[in-house]
Amino acid sequence: MSDAVSPFVLVLFFLFSFSSATDHIVGQNRGWNPNINYTLWANNHTFYVNDEISFRYQKNMYNVYEVNRTGYDNCTIDGAYGNWSSGKDFITFTEARWYYFICGNYGCQSGMKVAVHVLPVPGPAKATDVGKVKSSGGWRAMAVWRVVLASMAVSVGWIWVGLGGI
Ligand SMILES: *[C@@H]1O[C@H](CO)[C@@H](O)[C@H](O)[C@H]1NC(C)=O
Ligand SMILES: *[C@@H]1O[C@H](CO)[C@@H](O)[C@H](O)[C@H]1NC(C)=O
Ligand SMILES: *[C@@H]1O[C@H](CO)[C@@H](O)[C@H](O)[C@H]1NC(C)=O
Ligand SMILES: *[C@@H]1O[C@H](CO)[C@@H](O)[C@H](O)[C@H]1NC(C)=O
Ligand SMILES: *[C@@H]1O[C@H](CO)[C@@H](O)[C@H](O)[C@H]1NC(C)=O
């Protein structure tokens, strides 16, 4: 029976590594703080559905609200879609659309606002996309391979178990 374990460990490994999405840390090592131009930060990233964004800041000092375009432009939280305040907040993008996040207090007036355009998950790499995948989305191509390898490993696992069971 122990012989059958290794393919399943393999499967778990591949599935686990596949599930790790890109985490976009807002502001990188400067985090979520006043006087940072988050437009520059966002312009330097490509966001896809299932990616996550994380806000790191001093708890009880700042917070995060997801608002609409009006809220982003005017630093208002009326009709906010959500709010976070743990100091280390992870938010997963579930839809391809614009997301607007602001600090719910005075921080917004000091630049604590970020607009993020989330794109649909790219399909399987086309020949014309290869350059792009290499430069920015290499892990995505890897992810596709992991799925392929994982399904192969599952098949191997079943054969293994099948043989062992005979
Ligand atoms: C942030 O940078 C963008 C792009 O260069 C610029 O258009 C914008 O005015 C800047 N925002 C602030 C608050 O300086
Ligand atoms: C943009 O990304 C590059 C590479 O990750 C980094 O070196 C650079 O500092 C970033 N610039 C900004 C404005 O975040
Ligand atoms: C947002 O602010 C602009 C001016 O900064 C103002 O004209 C507009 O009415 C405000 N919108 C809302 C919904 O408060
Ligand atoms: C944003 O939400 C506020 C409050 O619900 C609303 O008055 C405003 O019209 C909304 N703005 C947009 C662009 O949807
Ligand atoms: C913050 O979110 C909670 C639910 O997570 C909600 O009950 C509360 O009303 C929100 N606060 C504001 C000011 O939007």
Query: Does pTM top 0.85 for this prediction?
Result: no
Q: Is the pLDDT of residue 71 over 50?
A: yes
Task: Output the pLDDT for position 21.
Answer: 75
Q: Please tell me the distance from the alpha carbon of residue 11 to that of residue 29, in angstroms, as a whole number.
A: 34
| Any ligand 4 atom below 6 A from CB of 70 | yes
**CA-CA-CA-CA dihedral for 24, 25, 28, 33, to nearest 10:** 140
Q: Which atom of ligand 1 is nearest to the CA of 111?
A: 13
Assess contact for 137 and 50: CB atoms under 8 A. Answer: no
- Ligand 1 pocket, residue 111 CB under 6 Å: yes
Q: Which residue type is seen at 91?
A: I
At 108-128, the pLDDT tens digits run 999 999 999 999 998 776 554
- What is the per-residue pLDDT across 31-67, written as a single tens digit (0 to 9) for each? 999 999 999 999 999 999 999 999 999 999 999 999 9
Residues with CB under 6 A from ligand 3: 70, 73-74
Gap from CA of 149 to ligand 1 centroid (Å) = 44
